[in-house]
Structure 1
Amino acid sequence: MNLNFVNLMRATLAGIVLFSVSIPPEAYATERGKTRQASRDVRQTGREDERTAKDECRKGDEQSNANCRRDKRDAKQENREEARDIKY
């Protein structure tokens, strides 16, 4: 009887392992997680772009530093709104 129980447990464990390996990794990700990642990507790309734009603005002496900051702030806010649109 004890040997049958051990064999049953081994078979169950093997079944669980085979089942978990057969599921593709994409099945683990949820749709919500994917949209959150897309939202983060939009914000991060916007940060990098606006950082570069502000540096160019300051180097070009086209505007005052305050105006460059304001432009960057406005652009970041637009990126946040775009990210919210994706997320929700």
Structure 2
Amino acid sequence: MHVQLVAQEANAKARLGESGLHTLLESGKEILEHLPYPDRPDNHFKVDPAKWDRQSKLHLQMIAGELDQELRQRFPNEDLVAEFEDALRAL
């Protein structure tokens, strides 16, 4: 149950743009490493360890996308903003 709460907290931090997301995602991964593999990973009440890294990447992409929007609004003609956008697309 604790790892599900960590995942929900990561969702909230990502949506709010709060710091500490990487540390939180790593703590969730560490919790999963100490749990037995779920007998039914398709059960939405269980966390599939095989999907944790993919979910982590989605959280980070969400934050990066919001940062990209903010940068484009504040610095519309800056070359570094365009480079950042290119780097995001490469993910």
Which TM-score bucket, shorter chain as reference?
0.3 to 0.5
Looking at secondary structure, tell me which structure has more helix per residue. Answer: 1
> RCO greater where, 1 or 2, for CA within 8 Å and sep 6 or more?
1
TM-score (norm. length: structure 2): 0.38
TM-score (norm. length: structure 1): 0.39
